[in-house]
Every structure is written in C-alpha cells, then in structure tokens.
Amino acid sequence: MILMARCFKCQDAAVVHVAYTKQDVCRSCFCSQFESRVRKANYDFSLLLRSDVIAVGISGGKDSACLLYNLHLLSKEIGFQLTPILIDEGIAGYRNKAAAKAEELCEQLSLPLHTFSYKDSFGLSMDELMLKRNEKRKEDASFGRPSCGYCGVFRKNSLNKAARELGCSKLAIGHNADDVAQTFLMNLLRGEKSGNERFGVAVDAGIAGFVPRIKPLIYNLELECAQYALLKELPFHLGECPYSNEAYRGVVKDFLNDAEEKYPGTKFNLLSSFLSLHKKLSGKAVEEEKAHVATVACPTCGESYSGSNATCKACSFVKEFSQSAARN
C-alpha cells in the first residue's frame, strides 16, 4: 500500500516537496506561503505605499506572472496602482509567444498592458543587432560582446524610460531569490565589489532620472515561482531566450542549481549573506554613496546616466553598430 504524502501543516494531500525544509506541502499552504513571502519583502524593505503607481516589468514568463499576480492581490489591500510594461526586444519565435501570455494575464486581471520595443527606441531589434554583430565577427572575431551585455543595458534603459513616461513612482521587476544569489556570486567571482554595493532590493531611489526599482519576489526561489504559477494556473511562456547560451549568468545558474540539488538551502544561504552585507551598507553609507552618484542627461537620447562617457551605454552601443555599418 502506497501512502499519499500529506501536508506538514494541514494534513491535506501534498503537491510540492520542499527540499530545503524537508517538508511536503499542499496547494493551499504552498500558495499562502509564497504570498506571505511577498508580503514579508514589502514589510522588510518598505517597497509599496498607498500613493504609489507601480510599473511592473513583465515578460510573459513565470517570474513576472507571479510578480504581477501578487502585486495585484496587494494592490487591493494597500490601494496602489499597477501599470504593466512589456519590453519587446524583437526576438522572433520567443518574445512574440511570451508577449501573448503577458497579454492574456493582463486581460484576466483587467490591467492595460503597455508595450515598448528596442526597434522603436534604438532603431535595432535584438535579432538585427545579433545579425550585425555576427557578420562583423567574420572579419574581426573579437568584435562586440555577448548578447546579454547589449540586451541588459537596452532593457534597463527601456524599462526606466517607460516607467518615467507613464508617471510611475516605482518599477517592480521579477528578480527572485535565484537571481539575487546569482548576481551576488557573479560580482564576487568577477571581483566587482562595487557591483554588490549598488545592488539591492530597492535601488536607484533618490537618483535623478531613475525610477526606483523594487524586487518583491526576493524571498521566493525560481522553482517556487514556476510551481506557484502552475498551481494558480497563470498564463506564462516556458522557454529560454535563444541567445541565453552566451551569458556568464548561465554558468553561475547551472553551478548554483547543482549545488542546491546536492545541498538544499544553498541559494537561501547566499541570499542571507548578501542581505547581511547589504545591511551594513544601509543608512548613512548608502546616502553617502548616492551623493557621489553624479548623473547627466545623454546628449543623444536624453536619458540620465552616470560615468564619464560621452553618451549613455545604450547610445554608445547603437553608435558602435552604426559606425561598423558605415565602415562596411
């Protein structure tokens, strides 16, 4: 006789086994735990206010589906407004499928979806940019950088600009516990101390030209986002970006997934270490750091950026390809 696993809390039939706690959990208790962790993130880091208009960066994937759904639940309790934003990179066979799922979720929640594209903002879709880079590499193998180096800059620029133009006070992104652990470890492996100093759960607050970014999913693992989305029957596209194989993050992600499987709790341990470090940088230290972040308006696109370059990174990338095309 095979005994059905029971929820450790209520004794209903379990649907999820949580390896790092060695507990079996039913649908109701698992979803309640997921949602309570979003509330805890809000409480711990003061992410959401009644007066806020929250831009929500959605992609059509599981993480942003969980983010939008949970913020929608909280908006009914707290009273803030939601403005979903989708950035269309222009990746055929990938973004169009994910965008359809994002539109479906927004329709279910009766929220209008605002779409912005790389093509409109920068004159190049991601597919076109990669094609140009690969053509140039036939002549110069060292030309350019990995795809995520371009896409990350374009996405951050596009989300910030869209959130500001739509009058939003904050920008919520779907970074979960895995993403934070990965970024923390990547910065350590690269020796980029300043990266971890700037990285946080709520960042860019008080810096001219930047809409503060918040991460309400920080206490939930990527696997838990997938499980929650499936249990809640949220529409999402399950597929990887065709350019993701170039990312250094993918190497770190695979390493952490392997470590988590062998030593459950590894990701939360890294998250705890990051938060402990970040806490030491809070308060006066963070305010002093902000005071030294000088921003200027990009002469090409008008967006704010910091640094000594003549233009923002996004515009410098566009110029890089326009100059390459001119030489050819």
Single out the residue of 274, 324, 282, 322 nearest to residue 300, CA to CA. Answer: 322
pLDDT (average), residues 116-128: 95
> pLDDT grade, residue 147 (50/70/90)?
very high
Mean of all residue pLDDT scores within the chain: 90
What distance separates the 2 farthest-apart alpha carbons in the chain?
74
Minimum mean pLDDT among 79-93, 122-136, 162-176, 294-308: which range? 294-308
Select the more confidently predicted residue: 106 or 275. Answer: 106
pLDDT of residue 281: 59
Task: Please give the model's pTM, rounded to 2 decimal places.
Answer: 0.91
pLDDT (average), residues 253-271: 97
What 8-state DSSP symbol labels residue 246? Answer: G
d(CA 7, CA 29): 8
Tokens matching residue 246: 């170039």
d(CA 321, CA 133): 8
Domain ranges, ordered by start, for the chain? 35-293
Distance of CA 241 to the CA centre of its chain: 14
Helical pair 126-137 and 313-327, crossing angle rounded to 10 deg: 50
170 sits in which H/E element: strand 170-172
Q: Which fold has domain 35-293?
A: Rossmann fold (3.40.50)
CB atoms within 10 A of CB 47: 22
Instruction: Flag whether pLDDT at 284 surpasses 50.
Output: no
pLDDT of residue 200: 72
pLDDT of residue 24: 97
**Model pLDDT for residues 60-75, shown as the tens digit of each residue:** 999 999 999 999 999 9
pLDDT (average), residues 153-182: 96
